[in-house]
Amino acid sequence: MGRSCCRYSRILLLLLLISSVIADGTWQRAYSAESSRDVVTSLPTTQNAVTASRRTAIVTAVANASPAVVNISAVRSVETRTSFDEWFWGEITYPRRRALREVGSGVIVDRNGHILTNHHVIRDADKITVTTADGREFGAQIVGYDLLSDLALLEIDTDGVSLPEIKWGDSDSLLIGEWVVAIGNPFGLSLGDAQPTVTVGIVSATRRTLTVEDLYHEDLIQTDASINPGNSGGALVNIHGELIGINTVIRSTSGGSQGVGFAIPVNKAKRVVRQITEYGSVIPPYFALEVQPVTEELAEKLSVSHNTGVLVSEIGKRSPIADTGIKRGDVIVAISGQRIKDERDFHARTRLLPLNQPVQCEFIRRGKRRQTEFTLKTLQWNYAPSGWGITLAQPDKAMAQKYKQRGVIVTHVEKDSGLASALERGDFIYQIDDTLIPSLEIFKIVDDRIRTQNRAQVYFERDGVYQVIPVSFFNRNNRRR
């Protein structure tokens, strides 16, 4: 009986051990299966998190803006002369022409096919081709350009197909150090690919002043986002993908990017686009005001700092500031809150001022600062250059389309003018010496420059016939043919 009981106890214990092992194995298998399900379930969750982390604000900004950035290919014909070697060995000596291609970038500013770019990208182009980010190609026409701001507006025929347009930002609200993205076509890398190149940086500075190839730029945006040749005309956008500038200039000792690039602020570009769209070119407001630089001698007499502001030397009777309290001898030091450094700065800041809105002006008289304001009423459509004996007019958009090129129209010739036998009413002046004259504003600049010469060549069109006349100069105010 005792042996049977012990045998029974051992058998029972063995059964308990076996069932325990079986139960433990079942639990382990169940735990392992559950763990596997957890791993499988968590794997896509992790992937989603990683994917979400990759889609940063910069990626989103690029996705929003890059479809509106285009490649521009501008082909122009240039004349080449016979080289010395060719001449020496008696080879052909007549001029030859060859095609040069300029590659750059542009930004679609509306769904109707208007594209904003730099003027230097399309300057003297015979053919302009625009390639959108999705690979479509269009021939482009020049709507108008502004030489002094280096901006041009193109138009392509979309055949009713809408295009992705950029969203306008606000360049006046930029913060130093905020992220920006430069989008464009450096070195023509995206030719044949269509997708633009993207570089990232920050706003390094604002309101930079720079003179490039005799063009004075004020209020430029400085960025360390890489900008290289071919980026010209492309977009500088903020973290929301909004256009804040048009990439235009690099400062480099090597010809490539060194982290110092500049863009034209979009608020200035918008004013240029508005005028080109309405008038075909930028037409400055009518000031009837003459200013001159403040020299060291004048600065001491007027109790102002040297190279600060401009001296008012003449005010016309119809000038919009004639009744504001400003007088001859006053020194204008600020317009609309922006400091005026010299003559170029004054003209650059006033040429795009709006009409029918009060403009704040700060000036110095006898060492004391004073405030006033004025309202501009009209644009300068006419101009009578001193000593020429003629009156010129800026053609409006419709009239400009009647000519093959841009220029100014002679509206009056004085009988005693030295040019009375050469020019007549209706003549279309488009060039002086080697400089094209697309507007009255450029004519005034060229006129000031050639007054130091003895003679200049004036090119004009009359009834479809192109002519040229020499103009000789006796002094600053008298000239004859």
- Mark whether 232 is an active-site residue: yes
pTM for the whole structure: 0.83
Q: How many whole angstroms separate alpha carbon 138 and alpha carbon 250?
A: 28
The beta strands (E) that lie in 252-389 are given as: 261-265, 289-293, 310-315, 331-335, 338-339, 358-365, 368-375, 382-383
Q: How many whole angstroms separate alpha carbon 189 and alpha carbon 170?
A: 30
Q: How many whole angstroms separate alpha carbon 225 and alpha carbon 475?
A: 50
- Mark whether 24 is an active-site residue: no
Residue 319 CB contacts under 8 Å (≥ 6 apart), including other chains:
287, 288, 289
Nearest to 113 by CA among 161, 73, 81, 80: 161
Residue 40 CB contacts under 8 Å (≥ 6 apart), including other chains:
none
Catalytic residue among 73, 119, 150, 347: 150
Nearest to 458 by CA among 472, 474, 444: 472
Q: What is the DSSP code string of 403-431?
A: SSS--EEEEEE-TTSBTTTT--TT-EEEE
- Mark whether 150 is an active-site residue: yes
Handedness of CA 369, 370, 376, 381 (dihedral sign): negative
Catalytic residue among 66, 73, 119, 120: 120
Per-residue pLDDT of the chain (481 residues; tens, 9 = 90+): 444 445 555 555 555 555 554 445 544 554 455 555 554 556 677 777 766 778 899 999 999 999 999 999 999 887 665 555 555 555 655 566 677 888 999 999 998 899 999 999 999 999 999 999 988 999 999 999 999 999 999 999 888 788 999 999 999 999 999 999 999 988 766 666 668 899 999 999 999 999 888 889 999 999 999 888 888 999 999 999 999 999 998 776 556 556 789 999 999 999 999 999 999 999 999 999 999 999 888 888 887 877 789 999 999 988 999 889 899 999 999 999 999 999 999 999 999 999 999 999 999 998 899 999 999 999 999 999 988 999 999 999 888 888 888 999 999 999 998 899 999 999 999 999 999 999 999 999 999 888 777 789 999 999 999 999 998 876 544 444 5
Catalytic residue among 204, 232, 257, 417: 232
Residue 435 CB contacts under 8 Å (≥ 6 apart), including other chains:
442, 446
